């Protein structure tokens, strides 16, 4: 079940890359990252499925003793409940070492590091309450927290226009900023603070998110040049020679 449901992540991974290559916006080498990223996903699925199967149907005396002891302790102790492995249908993996990632250069908590699948969070938008992932869609997205100076926002607007032939429509999502100022595609409010907590989203933080809703890069300050470089990298422009062959 995990492998079959994991195929959905495979489709999401391949879809935007194939579209970019067919439209002439990215090199064919971008398609090779589907293989490397999803092989990692398949290996993770196999590992987790094996662990769940071994827990539910122990293969030897030691694993049976472990399983039975965990189930007994789980009746009383919370720590043991976390060890109960009944499997799960699917969990997107983190593309930890993908060449499309731009490594962190600023101080962030590790949870939403480059390559991570975006975690959902409740937000408030123009149509009332909603969820972050619904606003990300299937475009490249730039997620900005708080207020920024005019020069920074002007540079961002110029960058998204200049890179539109490469990346298509780039969605600019501003969180907890003044609405209707013409600098964003979407304005959201993080009234419950869940988004800030899950993304370590302090004032002026910036995330670049891929069309398959994996984090491509993140920074503590807005720099249109850094975003442009990270976006080009995410589109395969900086793949190593052996991958571009």
Q: Split the chain (245 residues) into runs of 10 and give each run's mean pLDDT.
A: 71 95 93 90 72 83 91 91 71 90 95 96 84 93 89 85 87 84 81 96 95 97 93 91 49
User: Do both 77 and 143 map to the same domain?
Assistant: no
Kindly state whether residue 41 falls inside one of the protein's structural domains.
yes
Kindly state whether residue 101 falls inside one of the protein's structural domains.
no
User: Do both 116 and 59 map to the same domain?
Assistant: no
How confident is the model at residue 137, as a pLDDT? Answer: 87
Kindly state whether residue 88 falls inside one of the protein's structural domains.
no
Residue numbers of the domain that contains 210:
110-238
Domain count, the chain: 2
How confident is the model at residue 125, as a pLDDT? Answer: 83
Q: What is the CA radius of gyration of the chain?
A: 21
Distance of CA 181 to the CA centre of its chain: 27
Kindly state whether residue 213 falls inside one of the protein's structural domains.
yes
User: Do both 187 and 129 map to the same domain?
Assistant: yes
119 CB contacts (<8 Å, ≥6 apart)? 111, 112, 198, 199
Contact 175, 146 (CB under 8 A): yes
User: Do both 135 and 219 map to the same domain?
Assistant: yes
User: Do both 117 and 61 map to the same domain?
Assistant: no
202's tokens? 């302090």
Distance of CA 29 to the CA centre of its chain: 21
Residue 27 DSSP SS3: coil
How confident is the model at residue 199, as a pLDDT? Answer: 97
As a 3-state breakdown, the chain gives helix, strand, coil percent values, each rounded to 5, of 45, 15, 40
Which backbone phi and psi does 130 adopt, to 5 degrees?
A: -165, -160
User: Do both 209 and 153 map to the same domain?
Assistant: yes
Residue 130 DSSP SS3: strand
Kindly state whether residue 128 falls inside one of the protein's structural domains.
yes
Residues belonging to the chain:
245
140 vs 235: CA distance, rounded Å: 10
Beta partners for 189? 124
User: Do both 70 and 154 map to the same domain?
Assistant: no
Q: Over 11-34, what HEC string results?
A: HHHHHHHHHHHHCCCCCCHHHHHH
Query: In this structure, what CATH number is given to the domain that contains residue 191?
Result: 3.40.30.10
Kindly state whether residue 91 falls inside one of the protein's structural domains.
no
Which backbone phi and psi does 201 adopt, to 5 degrees?
A: -95, 85
241's tokens? 């020679």
CA pseudo-torsion sign 160, 161, 164, 170? positive
17 vs 229: CA distance, rounded Å: 18
pTM for this prediction: 0.83
């Amino acid at each position: 079940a995990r492998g079959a449901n994991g195929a959905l992540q495979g489709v999401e991974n391949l879809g935007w890359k194939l579209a970019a290559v067919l439209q002439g916006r990215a090199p064919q080498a971008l398609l090779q990252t589907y293989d490397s990223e999803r092989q990692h996903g398949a290996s993770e699925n196999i590992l987790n499925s094996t662990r769940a199967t071994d827990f539910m149907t122990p293969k030897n005396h030691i694993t049976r003793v472990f399983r039975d002891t965990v189930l007994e302790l789980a009746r009383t102790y919370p720590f043991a409940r976390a060890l109960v492995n009944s499997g799960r249908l699917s969990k997107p993996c983190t593309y930890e070492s993908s060449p499309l990632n731009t490594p962190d250069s600023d101080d962030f908590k590790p949870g939403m590091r480059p390559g991570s699948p975006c975690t959902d969070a409740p937000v408030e938008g123009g149509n009332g309450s909603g969820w972050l992932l619904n606003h990300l869609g299937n475009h490249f997205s730039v997620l900005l927290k708080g207020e920024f100076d005019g020069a920074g926002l002007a540079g961002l607007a110029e960058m998204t226009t200049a890179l539109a032939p490469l990346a298509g429509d780039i969605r600019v999502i501003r969180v907890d900023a003044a609405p209707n100022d013409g600098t964003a595609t979407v304005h959201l409010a993080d009234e419950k603070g869940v988004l800030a907590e899950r993304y370590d989203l302090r004032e002026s933080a910036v995330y670049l998110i891929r069309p398959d809703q994996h984090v491509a890069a993140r920074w503590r300050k807005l720099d249109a040049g850094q975003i442009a470089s990270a976006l080009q990298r995410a589109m395969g422009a900086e793949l190593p020679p052996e991958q571009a062959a």
